[in-house]
Amino acid sequence: MAAEYDGSVEQVHRAFGDEQYWLERLADSGADDYSLDSMTVNGEGIDVVTTQTLRADRLPGVVTQFHRGDLSFVREETWTPISDGQATATVKGVITGAPATLSGTAVLAPAKSGAGSRLEFKATVQVNVPLVGGKIENFIGNQLVELLIAEQRFTTVWITENA
């Protein structure tokens, strides 16, 4: 997956290291409940842990077959400092109380067009549920694409308003 940003690598990376950015991004996420669980910004990079929860009544049937109650997704992003014009990240995610995990890597680099930046994200979704695991993985993968698009839009607006 990939997303283009109007902002430079430096602007996007600076946003990723801003607590207010994360609080506003979570509020804009569409989750019923959310929290910024921890955030560390230092010379070694940026480490952010968030939790987003969807109420059970909003979940599709394929998900409620294997998971009862609300669904909470805990996500950890660890970004390196910018080096040679780009930053990289590892992303991990778990659905609390469910046999589902996400792991991935991201690269934030200048866009090939020369304007703005580009985030390329590769993720693996694994759902250990016999018979329906593949369907659930596809559902989660589609949701990840939608989430990446929404986060790109939010980040572009946030950078414009907070530059």
pTM: 0.86
| DSSP-assigned states of every residue in 28-52 | TS--SEEEEEEEEEETTEEEEEEEE
Question: What domain range is 77 assigned to?
Answer: 2-162
What is the tens place of the pLDDT at every residue in 3-19? 899 899 999 999 999 99
Whether 61 shows a pLDDT value over 80: the answer reads: no
Q: What is the CATH number of the domain that holds 80?
A: 3.30.530.20
User: Contact, 125 vs 93, CB < 8 A?
Assistant: no
